Structure 1
């Protein structure tokens, strides 16, 4: 069995599980390449409407990059891998379909990066986030985290590398949803099913608009949304868009009408 398990837990939902629990789901370069390959395939599969990324076992979503692997490489190999990983992460964050991260345990370093790049992050009481780069003289997530939790909290987490639990992560917005009962997998699946039930073209454009937004003026973002709505998301007849509403309205009228 490979290090990335792929299954379909519900119609329209593809789940990708990092399956290296013996090393707390540390991300090797071959595994990251496989994740990229599977996502590229999923992007072109119209039967897949949403994706879940999870980690195997009860302990960790992902402890980050595989340090044992890195220790075996030369300085040049480490640099080459870092450049490749930069592109792999960028393709992940710009993946056109909605992604749910099921963060059931520890997410350190690259594990936190992977979760932050998802559209919806689901966690529970045992979730732990740490952005570790500052401890090693580096920097991670300066380009994204402030959009999720604000500038002040981003400086706190990135500069101190402190660990936060699921409750705090939910309170500050790093977790989108908190599974109070601890069943993160079930809560993530519910979120993915919700996403799979939405019109895929709308979610694709919403995601693209949000990613392209930072740094642009409010008016330019407003105009771009309207342009997309009138072209790529060309409106259908109102009777089609709100067919369910009109059907319910007619049913109520028939039920309440007197003979």
Structure 2
């Protein structure tokens, strides 16, 4: 089934495709990997459908935060190994990844927060997909691993970029070379997971965090995320310039003027981080 594309205009909207579901309500988008009979394996159809949804998401300025999650008892078990049998040329292998690079980059650099809600397996490309998020929530049942070398493959889906920046080069190398599975507690200790929540509370917690951003300044959030994403590739002077430019833009927004007035009048701020 192919759903009719939509651009959200304020009312709750939802559509289902073959392997994913996408919903927008009250400024929060939820992209659900929905192929539970294969543990939400990232097959060719899912890769294409995610790309279509991300393209729509980037145009929909009413969306202030995105939740990534999986249907059933797993987040994503990785690439669909059944599609990797037989002889595959170097060019075919390269094209499998090159085709998804545009939407991977769009998700990593999305000017709105991305929250991954992980239950069960997040293996291989599933782990990589979780790492495009700004915040990862996990249940105690979550498991993370990069078993690419077991199949004679190279880790992919952006993990060479995301993981070393999150946990450091040595730990990233160890996870890739050892193919070690991380429990949710171990992932929390290494700084991969931000919070561990009970399975029954996972979606509610992800929604609470995402909904908080609907009351934040979209300009300040976008500029903050852009600067943080650039920080490990820039020198001090460049970051100070980015900081000054961003602050100049933020000072000129109506949101900043309202926030200052609320502060001086001892009114509660609009944006609060949910406890």
Tell me which interval the TM-score lies in, with the shorter structure as reference length: 0.7 to 0.9
Q: Contact between 1:125 and 1:167, CA under 8 Å: does it hold in 2? A: yes
| Structure 2 spans left out of the alignment, 5+ residues | 1-15, 268-275
- 1:38 paired residue among 53, 57, 61: 53
Aligned to 2:250: 233
Q: CA deviation at 1:242?
A: 1.9
| Distance in 1 of aligned mates of 2:125 and 2:28 | 24
- 2:171 paired residue among 131, 153, 159: 153
| Distance in 2 of aligned mates of 1:36 and 1:107 | 20
| Distance in 1 of aligned mates of 2:198 and 2:124 | 25
Aligned to 1:216: 234
Query: Is 1:95–2:110 an aligned residue pair?
Result: yes
- Given the superposition, is the C-alpha separation of residues 239 and 212 from structure 1 closer, same or farther in structure 2, using an over 3 Å criterion? closer
TM-score by length of 2: 0.82
- 1:6 paired residue among 22, 28, 34: 22
Aligned to 1:138: 154
| Distance in 1 of aligned mates of 2:186 and 2:231 | 27
Aligned to 2:75: 61
Q: Contact between 2:51 and 2:100, CA under 8 Å: does it hold in 1? A: no
Q: CA deviation at 1:23?
A: 0.2
| Distance in 2 of aligned mates of 1:227 and 1:100 | 27
| Matches for 1:61-210 after TM superposition, within 5 Å | 61-71=75-85, 74-75=88-89, 76-135=91-150, 136-140=152-156, 141-180=159-198, 183-210=201-228
Q: Contact between 2:140 and 2:198, CA under 8 Å: does it hold in 1? A: yes
RMSD: 2.2
Q: Contact between 2:54 and 2:103, CA under 8 Å: does it hold in 1? A: no
| Distance in 1 of aligned mates of 2:75 and 2:200 | 14
Give SS of 2:266's match: helix
TM-score by length of 1: 0.86
Structure with higher Rg: it is 1
Q: CA deviation at 1:165?
A: 0.7
Aligned length: 247
Q: Contact between 1:43 and 1:97, CA under 8 Å: does it hold in 2? A: no
Q: Contact between 2:124 and 2:155, CA under 8 Å: does it hold in 1? A: no
- 2:262 paired residue among 222, 225, 244: 244
Q: CA deviation at 1:130?
A: 0.4
- Given the superposition, is the C-alpha separation of residues 87 and 236 from structure 1 closer, same or farther in structure 2, using an over 3 Å criterion? closer
| Distance in 1 of aligned mates of 2:240 and 2:170 | 26
| Distance in 1 of aligned mates of 2:147 and 2:215 | 36
Q: CA deviation at 1:182?
A: 5.4
Q: Which runs of 4+ in 1 moved over 3 A?
A: 234-239
Give SS of 1:100's match: strand
| Distance in 1 of aligned mates of 2:263 and 2:87 | 60
| Structure 1 spans left out of the alignment, 5+ residues | 250-259
RCO higher in structure (CA 8 A, sep ≥6)? 1
Q: Contact between 2:20 and 2:31, CA under 8 Å: does it hold in 1? A: yes
- Given the superposition, is the C-alpha separation of residues 227 and 239 from structure 1 closer, same or farther in structure 2, using an over 3 Å criterion? closer
